[in-house]
């Protein structure tokens, strides 16, 4: 992970190379099930009704509010979810993360630092990982990814969708 991306790396004077690396053979790595906690839509549907849980939507605010939906089956957000656009974790577009105290204030205001359970989602489960990383830097490495995200939820007409700025 390059905080600030490749631009920050080169601005700090670090080198880039197009040389093909020499890769030494390494011992086999034992893999086991597990890893980052994930949730499916049934779990998220239960958690959205739990007052001790916080669900964060990492998509742009206009998608959260249902003003725009360029990809998925229908617009809106999971009822009860709070808008937490991943881009607001950054000092500037494609820039480095905000200072720790700013991130802490942001996620505290969202209720994510005190919640018993935190779930993050986005459109497809990718940019939600940005919110998960920000939360992990604040000590919430237990936050859960709804990997199906809005694409999964929006396809299921039996599940409700909310629109507007409110959870």
Active-site residues, by number, are 122
Tokens of 87: 């881009």
List the alpha helices (DSSP H) in 2-148. 5-11, 41-47, 61-64, 100-109, 128-137
Contact predicate 93/87, CB 8 Å: yes
Residues 6+ apart with CB under 8 A from 46: none
């Amino acid at each position: 992970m390059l905080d600030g991306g490749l631009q920050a790396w080169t601005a700090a004077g670090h080198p880039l190379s197009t040389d093909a690396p020499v890769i030494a053979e390494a011992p086999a790595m034992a893999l086991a099930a597990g890893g980052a906690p994930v949730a499916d839509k049934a779990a998220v549907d239960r958690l959205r009704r739990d007052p001790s849980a916080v669900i964060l939507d990492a998509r742009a605010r206009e998608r959260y509010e249902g003003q725009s939906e360029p990809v998925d089956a229908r617009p809106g957000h999971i009822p009860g979810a709070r808008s937490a656009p991943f881009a607001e974790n950054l000092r500037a577009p494609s820039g480095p993360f905000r200072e720790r105290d700013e991130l802490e204030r942001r996620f505290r205001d969202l209720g994510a630092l005190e919640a018993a359970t935190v779930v993050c989602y986005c459109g497809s489960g990718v940019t939600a990982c940005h919110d998960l990383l920000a939360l992990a830097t604040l000590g919430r490495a237990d936050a859960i990814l709804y990997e199906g995200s809005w694409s999964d939820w929006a396809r299921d007409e039996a599940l409700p969708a909310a629109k507007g700025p409110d959870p």
